[in-house]
Structure 1
Amino acid sequence: MSRRPSPPRGPKGMAGAPSVRVLASALATAALLATAACSGSGDGSGSQAADVAASPLAETSRAAAPHTAATSAPPRLTAAGAQAALITETDIEDSWNQVKDAAKWGDTLLIGKVDVAGFLTAKADAADCQKLLNALYDHNLLGKPSGASALRGFEQGNSRLLYQVASYDPAKLSSAQAWLKTLPVKCDQFTATDAKGGKRTVQVTQGTVPAVGDSRQDLRVVVQGTTNGEAATLTLDVAVVRVGDDAITITAGGLDGAEQQSTGQAATKGTQRLKDVLSGKTPAAGPGSR
């Protein structure tokens, strides 16, 4: 029998290899040409993308990204900032004069033991009323600050105005505000006894403070008793204004009556001063500088 001619073979085990090599070479060349065409296209998009990725501006932007995230945290009140945020005589009207010993203030009409027996159906409220009297006397209505704090006092006749700025733990500050809100109901009227057995009647009602800050709470506390053997009535307007994790506390009044107007002015001007400090600005001087 005759045999058909066999196709040409390469080296053993390499049958058809030349054709495969030619095909692979052709594909590689096509890929290179396509890449070169994209890189050298008339719109220059490939080259521009490479330039932007390698540009100093791009590096700066990438480096700045973590910094931007870090600065989004709320600003912290410093000791110097707390002092700058305090109001001055020019921020409140009338004839208030700044004093140097405000931290030592404490009205003796606020010292007394709450008569628990007077709370017929809610004796637990007596503890809140006692806490209120103690806090007003000790100037820590919102508890102990967690950061910077400062206070300043003013006098006018028989009245005093104590202004405080401080940073607080957020959860504790919220809790203190919620507690203050309950007091006009829990402590609407109660009796306290002084060290000599004298009786004092205390009334706590809702006060009035301008709609400033992130949130606010206000009270009016009236204490009727005796001082130096004579009948006396102490009236205090109390205002708390929150700005972030910081708060302003104002206690104003005395034996001459309420100081609602001055309390409102202190809250309004003081809130703006605190916001200015937190934003890195210098608080503006009040009108009518003396």
Structure 2
Amino acid sequence: MIRRPSRPARVVAAVLAAGVLLATGACSDDGGDESTAGETTRSPSDTASRPAVPEAATPSGALTEAQAKTALITEADIEDEWTQVDDAAKWRDSLLAGSVDVDDFLTGKADAADCQRLMDGLYSEDLLGKPSGASALTGFEEGDSRLLYQVAAYSGSGLDDSMEWLESLPQKCDEFTVIGSGNSKRTVQVIETTLPDEGDARQGLEVTVQGTADGAPTTLTLNVGVVRVDDNAITVTAGGPDGGQPDSVDTAVKQGTGRLETVLKGGTPAASPTQGD
């Protein structure tokens, strides 16, 4: 395994509170032929391993389902030609499904479990694990690229652990191998990215998966942005076979954090982004 120099991780501001993210159980491939990086598996039964995250009772005054839905971004909040879709909750990408090759980790076997947790979370599109309270998600498409946006409430200690886990991934999982269907191998690389200075804490990642689809070399690039606001979090994942979408993730983070902060204060977000944002 090739180890690149670890990137400096930003200090996560504020002591955070327990929860993609996910159990360390391996994600099983669907057993079929690998699809293109943009293909969606629609079957509700086709899911990756989910994390064993303890749930906590929703406290009084916490984010409500209605607030979570209101806090979701719209087409007006993100740039380019993104089109909102209705089936984002069913999105799955077969290039993300598989088992991490533990043999890659000569001295840090525990790191393999963290990398598996990352792959399972990206595949299931539930990166921070099962919310302890209200949640809502939406998705957008632009050509072969997709953008998934989620707002959810988590247990305080679980969210703290998840943010720290995300921060550790560029060093623990800088490069590793995933074994998919038919013993196919994919190379995964994880690097840290910078997000706009929004919320109480934030973590950006870029995940690149190099494999094959329909017998041809394929590279899937995903930009990930997670922002914490109190005991709630925004999770954005965007990209596809044509490359990552860092600018769209930054825009979604900036506009979405403002929307979430507004609804938590009992307000109603503007119908369109503030002029000059």
TM-score, normalised relative to structure 2: 0.76
Please report how far the alpha carbon of residue 75 of structure 1 lies from its aligned counterpart in structure 2 after TM superposition. 3.9
User: What is the CA–CA distance in structure 2 between the aligned matches of 1:101 and 1:74, rounded to whole Å?
Assistant: 31
Shift >3 Å, 4+ stretches: none
Q: SS state of the match for residue 223, structure 1?
A: strand
Give the equivalent residue in structure 2 for 1:197: 183
Give the equivalent residue in structure 2 for 1:154: 140
Output the amino acid matched with 2:69: Q
Please report how far the alpha carbon of residue 144 of structure 1 lies from its aligned counterpart in structure 2 after TM superposition. 0.9
Please report how far the alpha carbon of residue 258 of structure 1 lies from its aligned counterpart in structure 2 after TM superposition. 1.0
Query: Which of structures 1 and 2 has the larger relative contact order (alpha carbons within 8 angstroms, sep 6+)?
Result: 2
User: What is the CA–CA distance in structure 1 between the aligned matches of 2:226 and 2:104, rounded to whole Å?
Assistant: 29
Instruction: Map 1:177-256 to 2 at 5 A.
Output: 177-256=163-242
> Are 2:105 and 1:105 aligned?
no
Q: Deviations over 1:41-86 (max 9, x none)?
A: xxxxxxxxxxxxxxxxxxxxxxxxxxxxxxxx98411100000000
User: What is the CA–CA distance in structure 2 between the aligned matches of 1:125 and 1:216, rounded to whole Å?
Assistant: 22
Aligned residues: 216
Please report how far the alpha carbon of residue 234 of structure 1 lies from its aligned counterpart in structure 2 after TM superposition. 0.4
> Are 2:68 and 1:86 aligned?
no
Output the amino acid matched with 1:102: A
- For structure 2, the 5+ residue unaligned runs are 1-58
User: What is the CA–CA distance in structure 2 between the aligned matches of 1:75 and 1:279, rounded to whole Å?
Assistant: 10
User: What is the CA–CA distance in structure 2 between the aligned matches of 1:172 and 1:130, rounded to whole Å?
Assistant: 18
User: What is the CA–CA distance in structure 1 between the aligned matches of 2:271 and 2:106, rounded to whole Å?
Assistant: 52
User: Does the CA contact (< 8 Å) of 1:208 and 1:260 recur in 2?
Assistant: no
Output the amino acid matched with 2:71: A
Instruction: Map 1:1-290 to 2 at 5 A.
Output: 75-287=61-273
Output the amino acid matched with 1:182: S
Q: Deviations over 1:182-233 (max 9, x none)?
A: 1000000001111111110000000121010011011110000011211110
Output the aligned Cα RMSD.
Answer: 1.3
TM-score, normalised relative to structure 1: 0.73
User: What is the CA–CA distance in structure 2 between the aligned matches of 1:75 and 1:187, rounded to whole Å?
Assistant: 37
- Identity of matched residues, %: 59
Q: SS state of the match for residue 196, structure 1?
A: helix
Please report how far the alpha carbon of residue 235 of structure 1 lies from its aligned counterpart in structure 2 after TM superposition. 0.4
Q: SS state of the match for residue 124, structure 1?
A: helix
User: Does the CA contact (< 8 Å) of 2:255 and 2:273 recur in 1?
Assistant: no
Please report how far the alpha carbon of residue 173 of structure 1 lies from its aligned counterpart in structure 2 after TM superposition. 0.4
User: What is the CA–CA distance in structure 2 between the aligned matches of 1:159 and 1:104, rounded to whole Å?
Assistant: 15
